[in-house]
Amino acid sequence: MNKTETGLPLDDFESDARLHIGEIESAFLDAKALADAPALMDGVFRHAHSLKGTAGFFSLKEIVSVSHGLESVYWIWGAVTANGSFFSTKKAAM
């Protein structure tokens, strides 16, 4: 069993990370669907955010950094599209 310095197992993290990464990859591989369905990009953000949080718990700084970058892609994409989806409602609330 893999362990961090804190003695917590990484097996669950690895399994969870593979799920999140698979969902993110699937969304980006279908660029047409991603452009037509803002909910898919919302899913990318949720998966990246979950991955970032769990990686942070295990002090996996490189994974946190990449996940944060994916979150940034989400916000940039939202600013560019601003088509009445989650993005424009978030801006209105700010």
Q: Domain residue spans in the chain?
A: 11-93
pLDDT at res. 8? 55
This model's pTM is above 0.85: no
Q: If residue 24 lies in a helix (H) or strand (E), which one and from where to where?
A: helix 11-29
The better pLDDT of the pair 92, 73 is held by: 73
pLDDT above 50: residue 31: yes
pLDDT at res. 44? 87
The better pLDDT of the pair 33, 24 is held by: 24
Q: What is the mean pLDDT of residues 68-91?
A: 67
Query: What are residue 3's DSSP bridge partners?
Result: 9
**What tokens does 83 get?**
């088509």
CATH fold for the domain made of 11-93: Four Helix Bundle (Hemerythrin (Met), subunit A) (1.20.120)
The residue type at 78: G
Q: What is the mean pLDDT of residues 16-43?
A: 86
Q: What is the mean pLDDT of residues 38-63?
A: 91
